[in-house]
């Protein structure tokens, strides 16, 4: 079924049907009702490409999301799912572009061919050429994460600095004095990933404030790396009694390393960090953590992007989220410490 057939059955011209569908020119209410009646009877849905040509919209948003390593972590998949679900509420489809920098061909096609009405950028770096390029083009975009200078941008982010600091203060309040920090992989830190840098900054400053003895480690995004990292922690300082982690993908390995070292959680060793709740609840004992609200972040990012698409001149808006620490079973008083 096409516009020509609708025009024939409604007794109007093809251009009148086109104007009625696109709204580019006024059509009398009687003619509009006649056309709509035919459309309803035929179950007509306009072709997406034709609709885009008619109104300048694709009803599609891009999700620019490069995997940080050689696979997507559980938290990353949670973000992707949350964006897709939130977009559907606004009647948008989602096109995934696994682009890391603005020189990637996939990213250039996304912009140059206007395949999408706007884009959500993930895996943000402190200096991110994708964010800068979008701003230069005035292309509607929202970042999940913050660059080094986020003041006037459109973004949704976790306050990794405050959350890592909250984890440190929680452990210090429990009497822990020697604490390790397990970060994301070294290559991500070197690439300027903002969560890795801001989390490290929050951990370091809070530990100094509380007078703790600390060591920091980069760790691969997998369980084997987590176990190897835990072995290094105990080798470097056997007196370590707790750790804070940003690396959810390594969490199972960290637990396994503690078990193999004969360290009981939380009696002998406490573990906390910044992790999505459903992953914090899959380990035993369940992880005391600042729960990453992936669903909320995806929804807020889509809402902001739709707002920006519909109001191109609107000033930048953002959301900085600081969820509370969810107390579960993985943290307890340091050995020999009485907490009152």
- Each residue's pLDDT, cut to its tens digit, for the chain (340 residues) gives 677 888 888 899 888 887 777 666 778 888 888 888 888 888 766 655 555 545 567 889 999 987 666 667 777 888 889 999 999 999 899 998 887 666 677 788 877 777 899 999 999 999 999 999 898 888 999 999 999 999 989 999 999 999 999 999 999 999 999 999 999 999 999 999 999 999 999 999 999 999 999 999 999 999 999 999 999 999 999 999 999 999 999 999 999 999 999 999 999 999 999 998 888 999 999 999 999 999 999 999 999 999 999 998 999 999 999 999 999 999 999 986 544 4
The tokens describing 178, both together, are 């020697």
Is pTM, for the whole model, over 0.85?
no
What is the DSSP secondary structure assignment for residue 334, as one 8-state letter?
A: P
β-strand partners of 270: 242
How far apart, in Å, do the first and last CA atoms of the chain sit? 75
Q: Do the Cβ atoms of 339 and 175 come closer than 8 Å? A: yes
Q: Do the Cβ atoms of 156 and 193 come closer than 8 Å? A: no
Q: Please choose, from the candidates 139, 96, 79, the residue with its C-alpha nearest in 3D space to the C-alpha of residue 301.
A: 79
Q: What is the pLDDT of residue 24?
A: 62
Q: What is the pLDDT of residue 47?
A: 59
CA distances from residue 17 to 1, 53, 292, 299 in whole angstroms, order as listed? 13, 15, 48, 35
- Cα Rg, the chain, nearest whole Å: 25
Q: Do the Cβ atoms of 46 and 21 come closer than 8 Å? A: yes
Q: What is the pLDDT of residue 97?
A: 85
Determine the Cα–Cα distance for residues 219 and 20; give it in Å rounded to an integer.
58
The tokens 């072995």 sit on which residue?
231
Determine the Cα–Cα distance for residues 158 and 86; give it in Å rounded to an integer.
19
CB atoms within 10 A of CB 70: 8
What is the DSSP secondary structure assignment for residue 127, as one 8-state letter?
A: S
The tokens 């440190």 sit on which residue?
168
Q: Do the Cβ atoms of 312 and 112 come closer than 8 Å? A: no
């Amino acid at each position: 079924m096409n516009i020509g057939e609708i025009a024939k059955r409604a007794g109007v011209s093809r251009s009148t049907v086109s104007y009625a569908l696109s709204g580019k020119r006024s059509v009398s209410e009687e003619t509009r009702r006649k056309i709509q009646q035919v459309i309803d009877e035929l179950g007509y849905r306009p072709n997406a490409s034709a609709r885009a040509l008619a109104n300048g919209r694709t009803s599609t948003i891009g999700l620019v999301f490069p995997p940080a390593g050689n696979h997507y972590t559980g938290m990353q998949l949670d973000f992707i799912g949350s964006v897709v679900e939130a977009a559907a509420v606004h009647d948008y489809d989602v096109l995934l572009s696994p682009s890391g920098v603005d020189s990637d061909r996939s990213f250039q096609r996304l912009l140059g061919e206007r395949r999408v009405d706007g884009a959500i950028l993930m895996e943000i770096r402190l200096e991110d050429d994708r964010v800068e390029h979008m701003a230069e083009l005035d292309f509607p975009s929202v970042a999940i994460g913050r660059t080094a200078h986020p003041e006037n941008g459109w973004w949704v982010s976790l306050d990794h600095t405050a959350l890592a600091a909250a984890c440190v203060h929680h452990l210090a309040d429990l009497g822990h004095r020697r604490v390790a920090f397990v970060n994301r992989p070294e290559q991500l830190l070197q690439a300027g990933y903002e969560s890795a840098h801001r989390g490290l900054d929050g951990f370091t400053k809070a530990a100094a404030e509380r007078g703790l003895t600390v060591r920091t480690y980069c760790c691969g995004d997998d369980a084997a790396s987590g176990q190897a990292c835990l072995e290094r922690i105990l080798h470097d300082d056997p007196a370590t009694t707790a750790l804070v982690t940003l690396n959810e993908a390594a969490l199972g390995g960290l637990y396994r390393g503690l078990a193999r070292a004969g360290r009981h959680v939380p009696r002998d060793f406490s573990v906390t960090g910044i992790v999505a709740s459903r992953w914090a609840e899959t380990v035993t004992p369940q992880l005391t953590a600042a729960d990453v609200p992936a669903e909320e972040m995806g929804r807020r990012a889509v809402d902001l992007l739709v707002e920006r698409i519909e109001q191109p001149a609107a000033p930048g808006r953002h959301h900085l989220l600081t969820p509370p620490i969810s107390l579960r079973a993985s943290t307890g008083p340091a050995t020999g410490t009485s907490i009152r």
